[in-house]
């Protein structure tokens, strides 16, 4: 029963979390739809419409995946409930059969087992007491069996009601799933139409995209340079400390060598550090790296309310291929941007009028780009969820969005798998 309780509780938590996530997706989709309807009134298609459609499509696909997960959870609950109902039905049938046999036995033997005669026929007081206790226990057992039957019938009724409710929930979810898939198909058609309209403005759009690419390229160059400088500085400090330690060890060996009874030790050579070793050279840096790694999948988002417009990896707009080193996250106008983990600000960069903040977490770096303003400086220590600046509107679409990147040493990795589930 304890195991069943744990399993039911886990299912309830999982189901509640999935429902919360689905409701959040629905709320975000409503906001995006209102914003898209406003831009759709403009007869001329824009990159903003395309970005909003992409955001809606991504979010709706996430919602459909969440519904699929909910359906799987409900299927498990239905299966478990069916097993419990069958088990309870079997128990109830067995209890009723035993109770009926007990009543029938008592009825058939009621004349020969007259209570008083049964007690008075005892050889001694001790036996009469035991016979009295037996009759009392038999009556108590019959009463207890009756309660068991009532309790089992009640549990069976509750489980049947729960099973019916779960089946209704599944049915509702499947209807919602069909509706979402139909809407997703329509939005993909809208996206194709907007892309077709945009292709008529190809020259202007390609120029806008080139501007975006120039800004991204410049930002990535600055990020790479800043990380390389941080690595070089960490290696320099680590190797300086290693050289000092080697020098002291060799001096101690030389002093011991003056004693004829002591065999001279081999010369100590200063250690050469790899990139990861250099970044984790101090106990504090090593701990920070381990703590950051330990929070993989549970890091807070860089904004409190956001939708991913563009994911990590290669993508193409109007025939122009681009490489995304992070996530483009649409958020609210003038939203605060926050650090996803404690660390040290490596650099604050101004690129074409917007700021990029780079924070070091041992051998990991997080990058926050497209900030209108910042309130941190290089060398400053920051804490988890500490405000580091305000988001800016993206120049080509006018959408408030932040670019969030995560680097391990000098290689960008997909930040989505590091962030907590939405």
Residue 231 and residue 362 in one domain? no
CATH number at residue 32: 1.10.287
Top-confidence residue, 141 or 186: 186
Residue 293 lies in a domain: no
Query: Confidence class of residue 9 from pLDDT cuts 50, 70 and 90?
Result: very low
Separation CA 178–CA 33 (nearest Å): 19
Helical axes 47-108 vs 125-199, angle rounded to 10°: 160
Mean pLDDT is lowest, of 93-102, 233-242, 260-269, 281-290, for: 260-269
391, 318 Cβ separation under 8 angstroms: no
Top-confidence residue, 268 or 400: 400
CATH number at residue 341: 2.70.70.10
Instruction: Give residue-wise pLDDT tens across range 119-136.
Output: 556 677 777 767 667 666
Top-confidence residue, 263 or 166: 166
pLDDT at 106 (0 to 100): 64
Residue 54 and residue 8 in one domain? yes
pLDDT at 16 (0 to 100): 78
For residue 115, how many other CB atoms are within 10 A of its CB? 12
Q: How far is CA 347 from CA 46, 356, 364, in A?
A: 34, 8, 14
Residue 1 has pLDDT above 50, yes or no: no
For residue 373, how many other CB atoms are within 10 A of its CB? 12
Q: How far is CA 82 from CA 72, 77, 148, 149, 155, in A?
A: 15, 8, 21, 20, 13
Residue 27 has pLDDT above 60, yes or no: yes
Mean pLDDT is lowest, of 7-11, 51-55, 236-240, 355-359, for: 7-11
Top-confidence residue, 88 or 60: 60
Contacts of 187 (CB under 8 A, 6+ apart): 53, 56, 57, 60
Report which listed range, 51-65, 126-140, 350-364, is most confident.
350-364
Residue 134 and residue 245 in one domain? no
Query: Confidence class of residue 388 from pLDDT cuts 50, 70 and 90?
Result: very high
Structural tokens at position 374: 């910042």
Over range 35-61, report the average pLDDT.
68
415, 406 Cβ separation under 8 angstroms: yes
Residue 341 has pLDDT above 90, yes or no: yes
Mean pLDDT is lowest, of 64-68, 212-216, 416-420, for: 212-216
**DSSP-assigned letters across all residues of 255-318:** HHHTSTTSPPPPPP-PPPPPHHHHHT-SHHHHHHHHHHHHTTTTBPPSSSSEEEEE-SEEEEET
pLDDT at 169 (0 to 100): 80
Separation CA 135–CA 141 (nearest Å): 10
Residue 23 and residue 106 in one domain? yes
Closest residue by Cα to residue 390 from 314, 318, 338, 327: 338
pLDDT at 201 (0 to 100): 58
pLDDT at 200 (0 to 100): 61
Query: Confidence class of residue 21 from pLDDT cuts 50, 70 and 90?
Result: confident
Over range 46-54, report the average pLDDT.
71
Query: Confidence class of residue 66 from pLDDT cuts 50, 70 and 90?
Result: confident
When divided into structural domains, the chain yields a total of: 3
Separation CA 157–CA 420 (nearest Å): 39
Residue 381 has pLDDT above 70, yes or no: yes
Contacts of 358 (CB under 8 A, 6+ apart): 223, 226, 227, 345, 346, 347, 348, 349, 365, 366, 367
pLDDT at 360 (0 to 100): 94
Report the DSSP pairing between strands 401-408 and 411-413: antiparallel
Contacts of 385 (CB under 8 A, 6+ apart): 300, 338, 339, 340
Residue 100 has pLDDT above 50, yes or no: yes
Closest residue by Cα to residue 317 from 391, 395, 396, 394: 396
Q: Which structural domain, as residue segments, surrounds residue 408?
A: 306-417
Structural tokens at position 82: 């069916």
Query: Confidence class of residue 392 from pLDDT cuts 50, 70 and 90?
Result: very high
200, 232, 267 - which closes a domain: 200
Residue 185 and residue 65 in one domain? yes
Mean pLDDT is lowest, of 100-104, 228-232, 411-415, for: 100-104
Structural tokens at position 311: 């994911």
Over range 203-216, report the average pLDDT.
66
With 0.85 as the threshold, say if the pTM is over it.
no
Residue 29 and residue 128 in one domain? yes
Residue 349 lies in a domain: yes
pLDDT at 13 (0 to 100): 47
388, 377 Cβ separation under 8 angstroms: no
Separation CA 231–CA 228 (nearest Å): 5
Q: Average model confidence (pLDDT) for the chain? A: 77
Residue 51 and residue 169 in one domain? yes
282, 315, 350 - which closes a domain: 282
Residue 193 and residue 222 in one domain? no
Residue 164 lies in a domain: yes
Instruction: Give residue-wise pLDDT tens across range 312-321.
Output: 887 665 555 6
Top-confidence residue, 126 or 9: 126
165, 184, 200 - which closes a domain: 200
């Amino acid at each position: 029963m304890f195991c069943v309780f744990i399993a039911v509780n886990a299912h309830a938590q999982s189901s509640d979390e999935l429902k919360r996530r689905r409701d959040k997706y629905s709320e975000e989709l409503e906001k995006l739809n209102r914003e898209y309807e406003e831009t759709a009134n403009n007869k001329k298609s824009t990159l903003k419409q395309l970005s909003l459609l992409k955001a809606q499509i991504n979010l709706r696909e996430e919602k459909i995946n969440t519904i699929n997960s909910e359906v799987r959870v409900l299927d498990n609950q239905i299966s478990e409930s069916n097993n419990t109902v069958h088990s309870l039905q079997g128990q109830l049938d067995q209890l009723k059969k035993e109770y009926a046999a007990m009543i029938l036995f008592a009825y058939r033997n009621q004349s020969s087992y007259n209570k008083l005669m049964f007690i008075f026929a005892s050889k001694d007081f001790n036996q009469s007491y035991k016979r009295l206790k037996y009759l009392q226990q038999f009556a108590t057992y019959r009463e207890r069996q009756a309660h068991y039957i009532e309790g089992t019938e009640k549990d069976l009724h509750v489980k049947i009601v729960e099973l019916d409710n779960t089946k209704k929930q599944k049915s509702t979810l499947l209807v919602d799933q069909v509706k979402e898939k139909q809407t997703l198909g329509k939005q993909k058609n809208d996206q194709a139409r907007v892309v077709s309209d945009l292709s008529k403005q190809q020259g202007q759009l390609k120029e806008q995209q080139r501007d975006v690419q120039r800004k991204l390229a410049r930002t990535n160059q600055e990020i790479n340079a800043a990380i390389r400088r941080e690595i070089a500085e960490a290696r320099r400090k680590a190797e300086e400390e290693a050289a000092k330690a080697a020098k002291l060890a060799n001096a101690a060996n030389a002093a011991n060598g003056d004693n004829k009874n002591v065999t001279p030790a081999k010369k100590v050579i200063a250690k050469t550090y790899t990139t990861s070793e250099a970044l984790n050279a101090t106990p504090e840096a090593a701990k920070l790296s381990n703590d950051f790694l330990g929070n993989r999948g549970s890091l807070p988002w860089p904004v409190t309310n956001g939708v991913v417009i563009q994911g990590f990896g290669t993508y193409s707009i109007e025939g122009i291929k681009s490489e995304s080193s992070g996530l483009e996250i649409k958020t609210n106008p003038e939203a605060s941007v926050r650090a996803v983990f404690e660390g040290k600000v490596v650099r604050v960069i101004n690129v074409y009028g917007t700021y990029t903040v780079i924070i070091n977490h041992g051998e990991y770096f997080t990058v926050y780009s497209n900030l209108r303003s910042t309130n941190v400086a290089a060398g400053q220590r920051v804490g988890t969820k500490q405000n580091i600046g305000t988001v800016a509107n993206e120049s080509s679409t006018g959408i408030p969005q932040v670019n969030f990147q995560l680097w391990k040493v000098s290689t960008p990795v997909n930040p989505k798998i590091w962030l907590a589930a939405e």
